[in-house]
A and B are shown apart, each in its own frame.
Chain A
Amino acid sequence: MIAISVKNLSKNFEYYKKVPGLFGAFKSLFQREKLITEAVKSISFSVEEGELVGFLGPNGAGKTTTLKMLSGILYPSEGDAKVLDYTPWQRQKEYQKQFAIVMGQKNQLWWDLPAMESFSLNKEIYEVPNDQFKKTIDYFSNLLDISDILNVQVRKLSLGQRMKCELVAALLHNPKVLFLDEPTIGLDVVSQQKIREFIKKYNKERKTTILLTSHYMEDVVQLCQRVIIINKGGIIYDGDIQRLIDQYATHKIVTITFKNDIAVDQLTLLGEIVEFDKRRVVLKIPDQNVKENAVRILTAFPVDDILIDEIKVEEIIRHIFQTNK
């Protein structure tokens, strides 16, 4: 069953050009130049119930704008979208009780109060029954290890602890659809990993449909089978992440450490030189030549160590963005 369906969705933002300086500010009181940004350009996709989809793109690509339209925060300029058969921007209560959005750069918790107070407020807003509320808090406290910080003022929490509490606040009403906008932004690697593990487990246990945006490729690689890549408002890839890797990873990265100094001209025929130091070289070699060239390297050079790696997903995505500029 389809949980999210988007058809030719577009969003344009109007804004006025600001002329610098006092004279410019005075002039703009009477005459302003109107500019239009096409943040999202006629995108279409659908997401199955229970699917966890990664929404990738550089800054300003249109990821957050899309999530905001699907959450009913923004009206689209054109096109249509249905989430759980509701039109999001009609802001029906029935829909609002079935989805949640978490934005890593914003917080919905009351800053000067303990997180538990914000949870209680959400309990009332979403009309969560008492026993369900208690069970849910216990469940999340154990899963996220936050039982000792529930009664600490939010402003005194670390970023990682705050993000855990943000997730709990958003999930208290057990939403069917969850939009996660950069949930790991600014977190240290340990906290990032904990949040990832939580999202993975939650998706598996509750079958919640999740649309996740992130700048961190690790988030997407670890959590999502399917990615939608968006750039400059348009979708440039929608499919399996492994297919994306297979399609673009036509080379392998071979790192060789030598026992003696080596001249660079001896290596140019083996592959594209990415990095070179007299005793260490990083080569980019086409897949079909890797075996043969590795044998040649091992027999012709005083090799101390050789390492053959796949091209990193980050590299692939960067390549895709660059070729779509």
Chain B
Amino acid sequence: MNLQNQMAYRPSFFLAVLGKATRMLILILLFRVIYFNTPLLAGWEYKDVFLLAITYLTVESTILTTFHRNLSYYLPDLLKKGDFDFLLTKPLNPLFYSSFRIIDLMDLTSSSLVIFLWYYYFTHYASAFSFLSFILYLILLGFGLIFLFSLLVIFASSAFWTINATGLGRFFEDIIRTGRFPTDVFKGAFSFLFLYVFPIATIATVPSKAFLGTTNWPYYVYLVVFTFILTLISKKVWNYALKHYSSASS
């Protein structure tokens, strides 16, 4: 139904789709330009970075189409206007409904370009890969999405107090954009930060490496435990925020 809602404004819809498609192509072009000057970047060849880029774009498209805008922008708007009241009275999980209430048709349409990029990768760059590597890739991708979802739920919960949370939405976007690059380019403290403290490596680098056949099982265990704990924390924070919801005056 939300799709119908967005298609009610056609010119805006087509421009937005075009803008998103351009942004995706710019990322691929950026890597192309870098690799005109060097054959390797932190041990990554162009074809591997292409995989990383489309992995990142797949994750980005998934979260933009589903929960990102819902939690970063639409939720604060609902809280500001007091329309979140109705959401709390319906026999639905408020977190589920807040996160997936509006499915962004523009992002859904632009995501079709990702499918084209995947087709291009398989026909031009992919060498033989094992089925198990692909399964592992998908599982790690799933954990990356859970990590991002939990992180955003914690950020979004602050909107129950601050109401205006667009700053947090942008902060979250900046975080995930860091995942566009192989985290191997970071050394020392930054490498530790992006692998263990704020594991944005889970967004694209870790799954891409698994796809390419480089596994790191101890790190995967760490990732599972980390994601599990973060999910629990996000649930607690969300429930705490709901308890302190003060609605808007009528």
Q: Which residues in A have some Cβ–Cβ distance to B below 8 Å? A: 13, 64, 68, 71-75, 91, 93, 96-97, 99-101, 103, 105-106, 108, 110, 112-113, 117, 120-121, 125-126, 181-182
30 A–B contacts from the bound complex (CB under 8 Å):
A13-B246, A64-B250, A71-B88, A71-B89, A73-B88, A73-B245, A73-B247, A74-B247, A75-B244, A91-B88, A91-B94, A93-B91, A97-B91, A100-B89, A101-B86, A106-B82, A106-B86, A106-B250, A112-B5, A112-B8, A113-B1, A113-B4, A113-B5, A113-B8, A117-B1, A117-B4, A120-B1, A121-B1, A125-B92, A126-B91
The verdict on A181 contacting B4 (CB below 8 Å), with A72-B89, A103-B85, A106-B86 known, is no
Asked whether B10 is an interface residue with its Cβ less than 8 Å from the other chain, the reply is no
Whether A108 pairs with B86 at a CB distance below 8 angstroms is yes
Chain A residues, CB < 8 A from B187:
none
Contact with A along B208-250 (1 / 0, CB 8 A): 0000000000000000000000000000000000011111011
Chain B residues, CB < 8 A from A101:
85-86, 89
Whether A96 pairs with B91 at a CB distance below 8 angstroms is yes
Within the assembled complex, what's the spacing in Å between the Cα atoms of A126 and B86? 13
Whether A103 pairs with B8 at a CB distance below 8 angstroms is no
Whether A68 pairs with B1 at a CB distance below 8 angstroms is no
From 1 to 29 in chain B, residues with beta carbon under 8 angstroms from any chain A beta carbon are 1, 4-5, 8
From 161 to 184 in chain B, residues with beta carbon under 8 angstroms from any chain A beta carbon are none
Q: Chain B residue with minimal CB distance to A64?
A: B250
Q: Which residues in B have some Cβ–Cβ distance to A below 8 Å? A: 1, 4-5, 8, 81-83, 85-86, 88-92, 94, 243-247, 249-250
The verdict on A96 contacting B4 (CB below 8 Å), with A68-B247, A73-B247, A103-B250 known, is no
Chain B residues, CB < 8 A from A74:
245-247
Chain A residues, CB < 8 A from B250:
64, 103, 105-106, 181-182
Q: Chain A residue with minimal CB distance to B2?
A: A110
Q: Chain B residue with minimal CB distance to A213?
A: B250
Chain A residues, CB < 8 A from B88:
71-73, 91
Chain A residues, CB < 8 A from B85:
68, 71, 73, 101, 103, 106
Chain B residues, CB < 8 A from A72:
88-89
Q: Chain B residue with minimal CB distance to A95?
A: B91
Chain A residues, CB < 8 A from B91:
93, 96-97, 125-126
The verdict on A75 contacting B243 (CB below 8 Å), with A110-B1, A112-B8 known, is yes
Chain B residues, CB < 8 A from A126:
90-91
* Least distance between A51 CB and chain B CB atoms (Å): 21
Chain B residues, CB < 8 A from A121:
1
Chain B residues, CB < 8 A from A96:
89-91
Q: Chain A residue with minimal CB distance to B88?
A: A73
Chain B residues, CB < 8 A from A73:
85, 88-89, 245, 247
* Least distance between B164 CB and chain A CB atoms (Å): 13
Chain A residues, CB < 8 A from B243:
75
Chain A residues, CB < 8 A from B94:
91
Within the assembled complex, what's the spacing in Å between the Cα atoms of A75 and B240? 11
Chain B residues, CB < 8 A from A117:
1, 4
Chain B residues, CB < 8 A from A68:
85, 247
Chain B residues, CB < 8 A from A103:
85, 250
Q: Chain A residue with minimal CB distance to B7?
A: A112
Within the assembled complex, what's the spacing in Å between the Cα atoms of A106 and B250? 8
Chain B residues, CB < 8 A from A64:
249-250
Q: Assuming A75-B244, A117-B1, what are 15 further A-B pairs, CB within 8 angstroms?
A: A13-B246, A64-B249, A68-B85, A71-B85, A73-B247, A75-B243, A91-B88, A93-B91, A97-B91, A106-B86, A108-B83, A110-B5, A113-B4, A113-B8, A117-B4
Chain B residues, CB < 8 A from A106:
81-83, 85-86, 250
